[in-house]
Amino acid sequence: GGQQQRVAVARALANEPGLILADEPTANLDSITARRIVAHLRALADSGHHGVLLATHDLRTASQTDRVLTLRDGQIVKETVLTEGRPTREVLAELA
């Protein structure tokens, strides 16, 4: 499963856009492929040449970002700035 998702992500990244809009990029993917996709998006964001805006319902994916905006009924209800080096368990608890 997830072959169409992988192709869509690869196609989007092949053009090397300045801003990457990723709507549920790990949906329907196995955990290994999902981790690879998130790691690649993270590397692109860290390069300073790409902005990444990622929408996800997956807290583990969200925990790999710099900043999380939590939406409810179309409104931002919480902003969480994540710092590098924090234990994943701690980050997930804060996002929950």
Handedness of CA 40, 46, 52, 56 (dihedral sign): positive
Mean pLDDT for the stretch of residues 16-20:
89
Q: What is the mean pLDDT of the chain?
A: 87
Model confidence at 51: pLDDT above 60: yes
Q: Is the Cβ–Cβ distance between 50 and 20 less than 8 Å?
A: yes
Out of 45-49, 57-61, 89-93, pick the least confident: 89-93
- Give me the architecture of the 3-95 domain, per CATH: 3-Layer(aba) Sandwich (3.40)
CA angle 75, 20, 15 (to 5 degrees): 160
pTM of the predicted structure, to 2 decimals: 0.78
Does the structure show a pLDDT above 80 at 88? no
Q: Answer yes or no: is pLDDT of 54 > 80.
A: yes
Domain range list for the chain? 3-95
pLDDT at 79: 92
